[in-house]
C-alpha cells in the first residue's frame, strides 16, 4: 500500500510540473466583439489561432499547426460547437469531416499522394 501511495504521489508531482502555461497572445476585436487568440508551441511557432466570444465560447475559424508550422486542422465553431466542414491534414491524407451542431454528419478522406477520394 505504501508503494502505491508513493507511486501516486510521484505521478501527481510529475504531471503538475509537466503542465506549464502555454504562451499566447490575446487581443479584443471591436469590430466583431470577439477575442482573437494565438497560441504558440515551445519553439515559438504558432500552434493555434482562433476566436472566443466574450463569455469564453469558441467562435469562427480555428486553425491548428504542428511544431514545424504545417497546418494540421482547420474548421469553424458557432457558439462553442463545431459546425460545417473541418479538415484534418496529415502527410498522406486530408480528412474532411462535416459537422452539424458538434455531431459528425459526414466524412470523406482524400489520399494526397494519389489525389483519390476514398
pLDDT tens digit sequence for 66-96:
999 999 999 999 999 999 999 999 988 999 9
**Per the structure block, which three cell numbers stand in for 44?**
515559438
Show the domains of the chain with their CATH numbers: 20-117 (2.20.110.10)
Q: Is the pLDDT of residue 60 over 60?
A: yes
pLDDT at 21: 62
pLDDT in tens, 40-55: 999 999 999 999 999 9
Confidence of residue 114 (pLDDT cuts 50, 70, 90): low
Q: Which residues pair with 27 in a beta bridge?
A: 36
Q: Is the pLDDT of residue 5 over 90?
A: no
Burial of 50 from C-beta contacts in 10 A (0-12 / 13-18 / 19+): buried
Amino acid at each position: 500500500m505504501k508503494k502505491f501511495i508513493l507511486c501516486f504521489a510521484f505521478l501527481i508531482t510529475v504531471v503538475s510540473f509537466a503542465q506549464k502555461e502555454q504562451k499566447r497572445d490575446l487581443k479584443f476585436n471591436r469590430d466583431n466583439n470577439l477575442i482573437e487568440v494565438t497560441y504558440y508551441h515551445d519553439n515559438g511557432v504558432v500552434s493555434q489561432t482562433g476566436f472566443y466570444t466574450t463569455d469564453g465560447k469558441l467562435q469562427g475559424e480555428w486553425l491548428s499547426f504542428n511544431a514545424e508550422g504545417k497546418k494540421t486542422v482547420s474548421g469553424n465553431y458557432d457558439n462553442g460547437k463545431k459546425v460545417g466542414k473541418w479538415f484534418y491534414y496529415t502527410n498522406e491524407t486530408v480528412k474532411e469531416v462535416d459537422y452539424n451542431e458538434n455531431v459528425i454528419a459526414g466524412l470523406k478522406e482524400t489520399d494526397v499522394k494519389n489525389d483519390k477520394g476514398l
